[in-house]
Amino acid sequence: MDRHESKCIQEIVEYVVAKLERVVAIEAKNQVGIDSRVQKVNALLNLGSGKVQFIGIWGMSGIGKTTIAWAVFNRISTHFEGAIFLEDVRKQSESLKNLQEEILSKILCFKDLRISSVLEGSKMIQTRLCCKKVLIVLDDVDHLSQLDALAGMHEWFGDGSRIIITTKNKHLLVTHGVDKMHKMKVLNEYEAIQLFSWHAFKKDYPAKGYEELSTKIVHYAGCLPLALKVLGSFLYGREMAEWRSEVERLKRIPEDEIMEKLKKSLITLSRGRILMHCLIQEMGWNIVREKAPDEPGKHSRLWVAEEICDVLARDKATENIVGMWLDLPTPQDVVIKNEAFEKMKKLRLLKINNACVSCCPNCIPNEVRWLNWHGRG
């Protein structure tokens, strides 16, 4: 593997793990240990105070910083004139101007807002938001320049505003002068067993005969939420022998290396091809579905044939859809309304295979970057 391939794999791994860390944030039934931690952060926020406050949440990778920040955001965002949660700031640090545009567009309700430079964006945030009570979450920050560009000073925001920053780097928070900090701690053993069990057994306690193995896995995983979720999902429905094998494997991994090892096991490179563990696919499906379980038209990606056909035939699509993958095993009649794709302004990937349609759509969105359409018209 050359250096370019290695860097590519590392970037993909980091992106996927960042997405996995958000799974718990949208799964209400599995919010083990969330409430007590949210209460601690809420106490630091002191919403009754009219002062502008910067709050930092810090801790190691996989410990649940994003999950807590999301939970807090969802519970308090209605108390503000404007609110935005900026995910993966670290991964978007080369496009700080775009993040500034996102903040301003969301809070000020402006469409197609454009700024020419990061400096101009910083000034605009300061002048436009200085009289507004806002809630801004900057997730996964790793450099001071990001904070300087997006939330440089308290004076940028109106009275009562709250800026929440999540990071692995405590010193970054100190340097930027945040008002209060919350150090994330791992789950206690009881909470860890509950979280692991939700994913391994679909209930909050281990199945009979698996109690000891579950306790060992929780111990070896260091009670880290993301590690528990990944391992629990991986072991769900597997035979006892596979559980024992996984315990033996975990024994050989130092606790402080568990997250790094899990990352490397999820994505690999073989013969020039990037291979992704099926667990990631399953988690991706869960992420997409949980936001609107009964409304496929609101999903960002569609891959179930029945749902796609229903969305296309009944004009249920929304601008949320960025990918559509209709791969029918044999030729099949599919009803597609003329205006079916007009609302899918963000659609980038479109595959339709073996679809026999009576008429073609009026248009295909301009954002489409990959198109594969085979079938009879």
Please provide the DSSP assignment of 148-164 as one string.
Answer: HHHS--GGGS-TT-EEE
Same domain as 197, residue 117: no
Cα–Cα distance list, 302 to 317, 321, 352 (Å): 10, 8, 11
State which of 141, 156, 183 marks the end of a domain.
Answer: 183
Same domain as 133, residue 201: no
Q: How far apart are CA 166 and CA 87, in angstroms?
A: 10
Any domain includes 16:
no
State the residue range of the domain holding 339.
292-374
Any domain includes 316:
yes
pLDDT for residue 234: 82
Same domain as 176, residue 227: no
Any domain includes 11:
no
* Per-residue tokens: 353: 């295979």
pLDDT digits (tens, 9 = 90+) for 251-303: 776 655 666 656 555 555 555 666 565 556 655 676 677 667 778 888 989 98
Any domain includes 7:
no
Same domain as 161, residue 273: no
Q: How far apart are CA 44 and CA 55, in angstroms?
A: 7
Same domain as 38, residue 179: yes
What is the residue type of 215?
Answer: T
* Per-residue tokens: 9: 């794999």
User: In this structure, which long-range contacts are made by residues 360-368, counting pairs with CB atoms below 8 Å and at least 24 apart in sequence?
Assistant: 360/336, 361/336, 361/337, 362/338, 365/341
Closest by CA position to 151, among listed 178, 183, 174 = 178
Any domain includes 171:
yes
Any domain includes 163:
yes
Cα–Cα distance list, 44 to 73, 187, 318 (Å): 14, 20, 38
Q: Are strands 349-356 and 370-374 parallel, antiparallel or unpaired?
A: parallel
**What is the DSSP secondary-structure string of 306-326?**
HHHHHHHHHT---TT--EEEE
CATH of the domain at 69: 3.40.50.300
State which of 221, 255, 281 marks the end of a domain.
Answer: 281
Same domain as 177, residue 227: no
Same domain as 63, residue 122: yes
Same domain as 203, residue 218: yes
Angle at 72 between CA 67 and CA 73, to 5 degrees: 95
Any domain includes 165:
yes
Closest by CA position to 56, among listed 174, 186, 224, 185 = 174
Same domain as 269, residue 212: yes
153 burial type by CB count under 10 A (0-12 exposed, 13-18 middle, 19+ buried): middle
Same domain as 151, residue 130: yes
pLDDT for residue 24: 42
Count of CB atoms situated within 10 Å of the CB of 372: 11
List, for the chain, all residue ranges whose pLDDT scores fall below the cut of 50: 22-28
State which of 160, 183, 206 marks the end of a domain.
Answer: 183
Global pTM? 0.62
As for how many domains the chain has, the answer is: 3
Q: How far apart are CA 93 and CA 95, in angstroms?
A: 5
Same domain as 198, residue 158: no
Q: How far apart are CA 309 and CA 228, in angstroms?
A: 37
Q: How far apart are CA 65 and CA 51, in angstroms?
A: 24
pLDDT for residue 28: 42
pLDDT digits (tens, 9 = 90+) for 297-333: 889 899 888 889 888 888 888 888 999 998 887 888 8
Any domain includes 77:
yes
**Coil, helix or strand for 86?**
strand
Same domain as 327, residue 299: yes
Q: How far apart are CA 336 and CA 363, in angstroms?
A: 12
